Structure 1
Amino acid sequence: MDPETAERVREIILAIPVGTVLSYGEVAALAGVPNARHVGRLLSEDGQDLPWHRVLRADGTPTPHLAAEQLARLRAEGVTVVNGRVSRSQPQKVQKK
């Protein structure tokens, strides 16, 4: 991912409000990234300073190897988690910067 695109992805993730989640695909679409996997790769390589826990799989499930920490952080923000999944009836709104 080129630096400009990576910066757009970072800005979108930073703009996700507390208590809100987006899917990798939603972040990718907002940033103009063709593949949600690129968002996941950026978070795994350089996401420590981002609210990475607010980005989930499209089905509302967390990143497998970080599931316990991710769900704990989301619960602390008031996100409802049922059976290890965040239920969303519709996509969340996040303002692009």
Structure 2
Amino acid sequence: MTNSHQPDTAAVSAAERLYTVLAAIPAGTVVTYGQLAALAGFPRRARWVGQMLQRLPEGSRLPWHRVINAQGRSSFPPASPAYARQLQLLRAEGVVISPSGRIALQRHGLN
């Protein structure tokens, strides 16, 4: 039984691994949730990555905007402020986004 006042060290180290890999994604490059999970050592945990990114504190300096879905699109609803912010940040890094909101993974994806 774990003490509720102490953080789960496995969860902390998993989050640290994820955030360390995320921080290393270069500007102008995107990764999918699944790729980020695999790079952090958690293959097939794309949904977990999404949950962890949702928990980032406001103002986090981690490049959350470089994570997109496997279809090459933002996972935010197109009418949301987060969608507009993500595309704005990516464009500022030189990422080309089609009028339909798609990003060419072949061109901007992590190789």
Q: If the length of structure 1 is used for normalisation, what is the TM-score?
A: 0.86
Larger Rg: 2
Q: Does 1:29 align with 2:47?
A: no
1:72 match: 88
Q: Distance in 2 between matches of 1:50 and 1:63?
A: 17
**Distance apart, 1:63 and its partner CA:** 2.4
**Distance apart, 1:68 and its partner CA:** 1.0
Q: Which runs of 5+ in 2 are unaligned?
A: 1-9
Q: Does 1:62 align with 2:74?
A: yes
Write out aligned runs for 1:1-97 (5 A).
2-33=11-42, 34-46=44-56, 48-64=60-76, 65=80, 66-82=82-98, 83-89=100-106, 91-93=109-111
Aligned length: 93
Q: Identity percentage over the alignment?
A: 43
- Alpha carbons 1:63, 1:70 under 8 Å: kept: no
Q: Distance in 1 between matches of 2:87 and 2:102?
A: 8
Structure with greater strand percent: 1
Q: Distance in 1 between matches of 2:56 and 2:86?
A: 16
Q: Distance in 2 between matches of 1:74 and 1:46?
A: 18
Structure 1 runs of 4+ aligned residues shifted over 6 Å read none
1:21-71: per-residue Cα shift (whole Å, max 9, x none)? 000000000112241111111110126331100000011111214211101
- Alpha carbons 1:21, 1:55 under 8 Å: kept: yes
> Higher relative CO (CA 8 A, sep ≥ 6), structure 1 or 2?
1
C-alpha RMSD of the superposition: 1.7
